[in-house]
């Protein structure tokens, strides 16, 4: 880590909030990966900040921040479920003091001391709170924003009411306050450029930094001789297109050669076509919904699968695609830019609405002598996994540029 002299303000609002919420999402994990990376800096060079209940930014005492991150390391990193978990008494009491104003004053003092501060937002948790960003900018700090996608803007029908408006305000925050932006993929960068241009908004310089992987230690896959199965991994959002795969399994239910389907992921509160079909469809016992699983169990099931199925309509990156390929598991994925970017020429790509094509591919990959699966396994050694080292090399270059001024 070789940065020019600067003081980093790292927004860990999601990591701080997680003890009261459910299991970590992909964006939570990215924020934690950044917290893990930047906590290598001494206290004189980094301040961990959070958004308060009054939508102001507050600086956490360094010892408290690192204690919270240590707790997160024991839970977010392994992918443990957070239901029923709360912070220990001392950190909880200290957190209350931050909400009551101690942290706001601490941040103000830090910005007065260090005129070389850069606020890094990696989760978008604060980008729609323009007053908080403006307050930091007024005291001379610069702002860098990591942007995961613009999907709520391009596919608003796939999200709960109000999310598109909230994400538009986040992107307006990038336009108004960010000195630099980092996109997790070229697909996300291109989506940003199109949306900003269509609205006449200024877009700061954008770099692309692919996300890294945090794979759990290897565990044995399910035993040989069991009926072949496929895995869908990811939250059951409408854009993930579970409906298409469930329709395929409903049609295959009576076939003696039909494989199993294991669905892993968080279920949204609002029902949609995919979840309704999951609840009411007759799949002949071939479909199993496992909900959220610890990372080790999800990886174990993925290792034994004939392939990962990822028929999303749109994505900003596609971590499960990279995870499956890194585990040596073939991937059947939608032919969309983000998956082409992550998977290269290794996965087999299909149109996200080609039901017969997906069904034919599944039946082929389920066979022990599948020529299509064999061909993809032969391509796998040529694929290169994304890494956090490469991600942070880009981020550090961006921050170094801001420090250079």
Q: Which long-range contacts (CB under 8 A, 24 or more apart) does 391-395 make?
A: 391/209, 391/210, 391/211, 391/212, 392/1, 392/37, 392/209, 394/182, 394/207, 394/208, 394/209, 395/34, 395/120, 395/144, 395/146, 395/182, 395/209
* 388-17-189 Cα angle (round to 5): 40
Domains of the chain: 7-212+387-404 (3.40.50), 229-382 (3.40.50.2000)
HEC letters along the chain? CCCCCCEEEEECHHHHHHHHCCCCCHHHHHHHHHHHHHCCCCCCCEEEEEECCCCCEEECCHHHHHHHHHHHHCCCCCCCCCCCCCCCHHHHHHHHHHHCCHHHHHHHHHHHHCCCEEEEECCCCCCCCHHHHHHHHHCCCEEEEEECCCHHHHCHHHCCCCHHHHHHHHHHHHHHHCCEEEECCHHHHHHHHHHHHHCCCCCCCEEECCCCCCCCCCCCCCCCCCCCEEEEECCCCHHHCHHHHHHHHHHHCCCCCCCEEEEECCCCCCCCHHHHHHHHCCCCCCEEEEECCCHHHHHHHHHCCCCEEECCCCCCCCHHHHHHHHCCCCEEEECCHHHHHHHCCCCEEECCCCHHHHHHHHHHHHCCCCHHHHHHHHHHHHCCCCCHHHHHHHHHHHHHHHHHC
The whole-number pLDDT of residue 80 equals: 52
The whole-number pLDDT of residue 83 equals: 43
The whole-number pLDDT of residue 86 equals: 45
Global pTM value? 0.91
Non-local (6+) Cβ contacts of 372 within 8 A are: 348, 361, 364, 365
The whole-number pLDDT of residue 89 equals: 47
Alpha carbon 8 to chain centroid, angstroms: 22
The whole-number pLDDT of residue 380 equals: 97
Angle between helices 26-38 and 388-404 (to 10 degrees): 60
Angle between helices 273-280 and 242-252 (to 10 degrees): 30
From first to last of its 405 residues, what are the pLDDT tens digits of the chain? Answer: 666 678 999 999 888 776 544 456 788 889 989 999 999 999 999 999 988 877 889 999 898 888 888 877 776 655 554 443 444 445 555 556 655 578 888 999 999 998 899 999 999 889 999 999 999 999 999 999 999 999 999 999 988 889 999 999 999 999 999 999 999 999 999 999 999 999 999 999 999 999 999 888 777 777 655 789 999 999 999 999 999 999 999 999 989 999 999 999 989 888 899 999 999 999 999 999 999 888 889 999 999 999 999 999 999 999 999 999 999 999 999 999 999 999 999 999 999 999 999 999 999 999 999 999 999 999 999 999 999 999 999 999 999 999 887
């Amino acid at each position: 880590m070789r940065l020019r002299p600067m003081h980093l303000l790292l927004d860990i609002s999601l990591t701080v909030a997680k003890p009261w919420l459910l299991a970590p999402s992909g964006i939570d994990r990215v924020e934690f990966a950044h917290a893990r990376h930047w906590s290598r800096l001494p206290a004189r060079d980094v301040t961990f900040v959070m958004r308060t209940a009054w939508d102001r930014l507050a600086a956490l005492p360094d010892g408290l921040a690192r204690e919270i991150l240590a707790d997160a390391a024991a839970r977010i990193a392994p992918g443990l479920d957070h239901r029923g978990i709360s912070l220990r008494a001392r950190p909880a009491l200290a957190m209350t003091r931050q909400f009551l104003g101690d942290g706001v004053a601490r941040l103000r003092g830090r910005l007065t001391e260090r005129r070389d501060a850069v606020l890094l937002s990696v989760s978008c948790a604060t980008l729609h709170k323009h007053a908080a960003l403006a307050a930091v900018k007024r005291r001379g700090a610069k702002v860098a924003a990591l942007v995961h996608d613009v999907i709520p803007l391009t596919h608003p029908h796939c999200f709960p009411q109000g999310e598109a408006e909230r994400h538009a305000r986040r992107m307006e925050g990038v336009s108004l306050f960010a000195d630099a932006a980092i996109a997790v993929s070229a697909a996300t960068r291109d989506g940003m450029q199109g949306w900003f241009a269509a609205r006449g908004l200024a877009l700061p310089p954008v770099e692309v930094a692919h996300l890294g992987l945090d794979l759990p230690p290897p565990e044995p896959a399910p035993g040989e001789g069991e009926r072949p199965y496929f895995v869908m991994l990811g939250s059951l959002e409408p854009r993930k297109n579970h409906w298409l795969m469930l329709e395929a399994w409903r049609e295959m239910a009576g076939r003696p050669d039909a494989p199993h389907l294991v669905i892993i992921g968080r279920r949204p509160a609002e029902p949609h076509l995919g979840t309704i079909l999951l609840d009411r469809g007759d799949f002949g016992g071939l479909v199993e919904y496992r909900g959220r699983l610890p990372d080790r169990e999800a990886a174990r099931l993925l290792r034994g699968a004939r392939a990962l199925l990822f028929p999303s309509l749109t994505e900003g990156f596609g971590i499960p695609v990279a995870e499956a390929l890194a585990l040596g598991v073939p991937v059947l994925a939608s032919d969309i830019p983000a998956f082409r970017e992550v998977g290269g020429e290794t996965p087999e790509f299909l149109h996200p609405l080609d039901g017969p094509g997906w069904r034919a591919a599944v039946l082929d990959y389920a066979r022990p002598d599948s020529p299509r699966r064999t061909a993809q396994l032969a391509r796998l050694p040529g694929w290169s996994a994304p890494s956090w080292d490469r991600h942070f090399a880009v981020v550090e270059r961006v921050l170094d540029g801001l420090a250079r001024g």
